[in-house]
Amino acid sequence: MKIKTEKLKELISKVSVGVGNNKLIPITELIGIDVNDDTIQLIATDINNYVYVSDKIATNEEFNISVQAERFVKLIGKLTSEYTELHVKDNNLIVKANGSYTIELPLDENGDLIKFPDPRNDIDVTIDNSVEVSVNTIKSIVKIAKSSLATTVDRPELTNYYVGDKVFATNGTIITEYRKELFDSPQLFSSKLMDIISTFTGENVAMKVEKDYILAICDNMSVYSKVSEDIDDYAIDKVTKFIGTEFDNSCKLNRANVINALDRISLFSSTYDNRAVRLSFTENALVISNMKSGSIEEVEYMEKKSNVDSFEVYINADMLMEQLKSYFGDTVTIEYGEDFAISLVSDTTTQIISLMSV
């Protein structure tokens, strides 16, 4: 089969987000290539998510193979010819472009070429009963909320987004709420699944949620994902109660100025004090200092609504920095007045960040 090299590069770039590269699970190190009916389809998986990308081509050839992802992706990325040809011969993939390259294909225990498994064969792949969501909405959720997810499996449910009439992400110390209804019935979406959907290049994605799987389709790209069984463990009542905390005081600041000041002051915090910095909400400015108060900066308020002349808290510098960087907009509104948390608030989001006791 023959395909424009730039088109092949585009397809590979899209499917590569699904390559798991887990050396303990060989299928995650492969890319499936299925050519038939004048269509090429590429498949990749991390074993929980299967990514598909396809395009029409003019060919009389048919083959269904799997190829080692790393070498194949690197080779295609280095090609400069206008067209690339792919042929299967004697258990090898022959790639003809700038030159001719032979890639040995993996075989199964019977000595046959490996055909990439496709869990969609057992499901209804139509988009009946699906929910249409803007891809930009998914991108926004990932930007604002991903840093709030747990990164360890101590509580596996917290490694997922809670997606329903609102979207929540929490690691137990930070909670992010994105006020956008996606589903009537809540679901858990893995971080990887949301990352994949955020790479879709179409305008809207059709998302279909069934008992055992989630199917998301957008133009020539789709992803199949297993449904998480941990939703009953997700303490949504506690999350919504915490996110609903009412603060009596707030101030609006230039976000870049806060980030830059925090970046400089955090140079003087250390692991010995758990990377703590002091935030002092004074009459005219937010004062950021290190624990020893030897380093200090002021960021003037753009607006302030407060019932107290001053209020002081301690917070982990890295945690605050990460949330500020994910925040939308040039200005940031910080709510304060409680001894356990502060809040970053926008029109569509709320981020609750736990404070430190020192």
Residues 219 and 253 grouped into a single domain: no
pLDDT in tens, 54-85: 999 999 899 999 999 999 999 999 999 999 99
DSSP three-state, residue 181: coil
The mean pLDDT of 221-234, rounded to a whole number, is: 93
Residues 176 and 190 grouped into a single domain: yes
Q: Which of 213, 243, 273 is the last residue of a domain?
A: 243
Q: Which of 209, 243, 277 is the last residue of a domain?
A: 243
Q: What is the pLDDT of residue 2?
A: 95
Domain that holds residue 343: 249-354
Amino acid (one-letter) located at 297: E
Q: How many domains does the chain have?
A: 3
pLDDT in tens, 9-56: 999 999 999 999 999 999 999 999 999 999 999 999 999 999 999 999
Q: Which two tokens stand for residue 44?
A: 């990749």
Q: Sorting pLDDT into bands at 50, 70 and 90, what band is 211?
A: confident
* CATH number for 195: 3.10.150.10
Q: Which of 243, 277, 294 is the last residue of a domain?
A: 243
Residues 232 and 206 grouped into a single domain: yes
Where would I find the H helices in the chain? Answer: 5-15, 69-78, 135-145, 191-198, 236-243, 255-265, 317-326
The whole-angstrom separation of Cα 24 and Cα 187 is 29
122 occurs within a structural domain: no
Residues 10 and 106 grouped into a single domain: yes
Q: Which two tokens stand for residue 269?
A: 């915090």
Whole-Å CA distances, 281 to 11, 231, 291: 51, 39, 16
Q: Which two tokens stand for residue 33?
A: 């290539």
Query: What is the residue whose two structure tokens read 């304060």?
Result: 336
The whole-angstrom separation of Cα 29 and Cα 209 is 27
Q: Sorting pLDDT into bands at 50, 70 and 90, what band is 294?
A: confident
Amino acid (one-letter) located at 330: D
124 occurs within a structural domain: no
Q: Which two tokens stand for residue 4?
A: 């424009």
pLDDT in tens, 134-186: 999 999 999 999 999 999 989 999 999 999 999 999 999 999 999 999 998 89
321 occurs within a structural domain: yes
Residues 229 and 257 grouped into a single domain: no
Residues 156 and 214 grouped into a single domain: yes
Residue 254 reports pLDDT greater than 90: yes
126 occurs within a structural domain: no
41's enclosing H/E stretch is strand 39-45
Residues 112 and 143 grouped into a single domain: no
Q: pTM of the full predicted structure?
A: 0.91
